[in-house]
Amino acid sequence: MEILDKENLPGHVAIIMDGNGRWAKHRGLPRVVGHRSGMESVREIVKLCAELKIKVLTLYAFSTENWKRPQEEVDALMNLLVEYLHREIEELVQNDVQIRHIGRATELPAPALEAMTVATERTCKNKGLVLNLALNYGGRTEIVDAMREIAVKVKEGELTVSSIDEGTIDKYLYTAGLPDPDLLIRTSGDCRISNFLLWQLAYTEFWLTPVMWPDFRRRHLLTALIEFQQRERRYGEIKG
């Protein structure tokens, strides 16, 4: 059995937490039960990433497309977010985790926005794991928002069109100042990125698993990290 090399860990892990609804359906339970069960997976994975001193963990919690789901499910998801932040905030503070929100904050329900605001403010000076919660997030929306900000800067004379490059765009993304993901994990067996971090995933390694998110635990993440360490990352180059 391969052993995890703690000196060769990805700096940024991103996870599409998929399969909560199907997990519940397979058990004859309401979808919200699956989402609630997935909270324990979040807790365990965040704790492990903090222990391993991984720099950034980005969790795809709620997409811009998820508003199309039944209102009852949307409300349940937002309530679970508030519950998670209220329940876990003290331990997150103790573990030096810094919480950040990526996505359009102003469109969130007031309780969810307040919980996110309090959590980010309470943890903003922490120096350990950066926990990005992608909430009301869409990769295309992120790029649109970045382009709008850049257009304003050009209009105001602070930028010129000829000066815009990849680094400029990076500065106006929700993830500004953070490294791109080294590893993307998607649970539940689907093979798509679902409008997640479209710009940032250019050279990310993918690891897909049929395991549903509520069943995803430390051992699964460790397996993904070990497999990641066995890959050769070429970034378009040819290596001997």
**Alpha-carbon gap, residue 122 to 69, rounded angstroms:** 31
Percent of the chain with pLDDT over 90: 95
Write out pLDDT tens, residues 175-218.
999 999 999 999 999 999 999 999 999 999 999 999 999 999 99
- What residues are labeled active site? 18, 66
193 burial via Cβ count (<10 Å: 0-12, 13-18, 19+):
middle
Query: Do 225 and 51 meet the contact criterion of CB atoms below 8 Å apart?
Result: no
Report the predicted TM-score, pTM, of the whole model to 2 decimal places. Answer: 0.95
pLDDT at position 94 is 95
CATH superfamily, with its number, for domain 12-138+179-229 = Decaprenyl diphosphate synthase-like (3.40.1180.10)
**Domain range list for the chain:** 12-138+179-229
Closest CA to 84 of 21, 41, 50, 55: 41
Write out pLDDT tens, residues 150-183.
999 999 999 999 999 999 999 999 999 999 999 9
